[in-house]
Structure 1
C-alpha cells in the first residue's frame, strides 16, 4: 500500500472517531471515552508506523540488490574490455628457437660457400667446379684419404701471400678508397655490400700494420 493511502486512511479514522464521540456525557463518561479514544489512536499510529517501516526496508533492500547486480555487470564488461585490449596489443607469435637456429645455420652455410673473385664480387661455389664423373670404389683414385685433401688445402692457404690476397686482388678497390671515394660509392661500383667493402679495408689495414712490425 502506498504511503499516501495510509495517511488518507489514518485521517479518515480520526474523523470517524471524532464523530462517534457523544456530545452529551457526564464528566466521568467523557473522561473514560477520551482515554479509550487515545488508546485506539495510539494503536492505529503504531500500526501505521510499523507498516511504513516495513515498506521502507523493502525498498532499501530492493535498491541494494539492484545496485549490486549493476556493479557485477559493470565488472564483467570491464574484464571483457581488458581481455580484448590485451589481445589487440599482443605482438605476433615469436619464431621458435629451433627455427631461428636452423635459419642461422643455413645462412652460415651459404656464407661459407661463397668466395671473393678478383673484382670483389661473391661467386657461390657449386657443383660445376667438381668432377662430373664420380669415382667408383674399384677405381684407383677412389680410396684417397680425406685427411690428405684437408692437409693439401691447409698447405695451400698457408703458402698464399696475405698481401697478394688483399692488396693485389682488390687493388682497384683500395685505389679508389685512397682517392677519397666513400664506401657507399665503392660498394655500388663493384656491386658489393657496404659491410664487405669495410671488411676488405680492415684486412688491408691489418696487413699494413703487420708488414710495418716485421
Structure 2
C-alpha cells in the first residue's frame, strides 16, 4: 500500500469515526435526559401523593377536633341537665321530709331515676317503710339479712343487688334502724 493511500484511508476512518461518535454521545445524552425527566416526573408524582395524603390527614384531624368539641358540648349540656335534675330532686326531698313524720328520715331518691313511675314506686316504699316503723317488731329483726351484710362491710349497692331491693330502700332501712336505736337510748 502506498503512503498516500494509507493517509486517505486513515482520514476516511477518522471522518467516519467522527460522525459515529457524536451520534452515540447524542443518543446516550438523550437517554440521560429521558432518565432525568422520568425521575423528575416520578418525584413530582410522589410529591403530589404526599401533599394529597397530608391534606387528608389535616382534614381528618380537623374533623376529629370538631367531633371532640361537639362531644364536649353535648356532655356539658348533659351535666347541666343532671345538675338541674339533682336540684329538683333535692327540692322534692325537702318537701317529703316536711310532710313526713319527724321520726322518719327519708333518703334522697337515686339521681339516675328519671322515670315518674319509678318515683311513685319509691314513694310507696317510703310509705310502707313508715308503716313498718309503727309495728312492734324491731326493724333489725325484720331485715336481719340486710344488717348482717351491712355489718360484714358490704356496700349499699351490693346489698340492694343481693336482696333484690332498691338502693334507696336499703338506705332507708339502715337509717330507720339507726333512728330506732337512738330512740331507745
What TM-score do you get using the length of structure 1 for normalisation?
Answer: 0.47
1:105 maps to which of 82, 87, 91: 87
For the structure 1 residues 174 and 107, does the alpha-carbon distance in structure 2 shift closer, same or farther, using more than 3 Å as the test? farther
Offset of 1:36 from its aligned partner? Answer: 1.8
Give the distance between the partners of 1:76 and 1:171, measured in 2 at CA: 75
Give the distance between the partners of 1:193 and 1:92, measured in 2 at CA: 35
Between Structure 1 and Structure 2, how many residues are aligned? 135
Of the structure 1 ranges 25-34 and 58-67, higher mean CA displacement relative to structure 2 is found in 25-34
Give the distance between the partners of 1:33 and 1:81, measured in 2 at CA: 72
Give the distance between the partners of 2:136 and 2:72, measured in 1 at CA: 44
Give the distance between the partners of 1:94 and 1:173, measured in 2 at CA: 50
Q: Structure 2: 5+ residue runs without aligned partners?
A: 107-131, 147-159
Instruction: Give the number of the structure with larger relative contact order, counting CA–CA contacts within 8 Å between residues 6 or more apart.
Output: 2
Offset of 1:177 from its aligned partner? Answer: 2.8
Greater C-alpha Rg: 1
Matched, 1:172 2:135: yes
For the structure 1 residues 194 and 180, does the alpha-carbon distance in structure 2 shift closer, same or farther, using more than 3 Å as the test? closer
Matched, 1:74 2:50: no
Give the distance between the partners of 1:31 and 1:116, measured in 2 at CA: 132
Q: Structure 1: 5+ residue runs without aligned partners?
A: 1-24, 123-168
**RMSD of equivalent CA atoms:** 4.0
Offset of 1:54 from its aligned partner? Answer: 0.9
2:75 maps to which of 84, 94, 104: 94
Matched, 1:193 2:169: yes
1:1-214 equivalences under 5 Å are 26-80=5-59, 87=67, 90=71, 93-96=74-77, 99-114=81-96, 115-117=99-101, 170-172=133-135, 175-183=138-146, 193-208=169-184, 211=185
For the structure 1 residues 110 and 206, does the alpha-carbon distance in structure 2 shift closer, same or farther, using more than 3 Å as the test? same
Offset of 1:112 from its aligned partner? Answer: 0.8
> Which deviations, in whole Å up to 9, do the C-alpha atoms of 1:112-142 show, x marking residues without a partner?
1113359x797xxxxxxxxxxxxxxxxxxxx
Offset of 1:195 from its aligned partner? Answer: 2.0
What TM-score do you get using the length of structure 2 for normalisation?
Answer: 0.53
- Give the structure with the larger helix fraction: 2
Give the distance between the partners of 2:8 and 2:139, measured in 1 at CA: 138
Structure 1 residue matching 2:74: 3-state secondary structure: coil
Offset of 1:103 from its aligned partner? Answer: 2.8
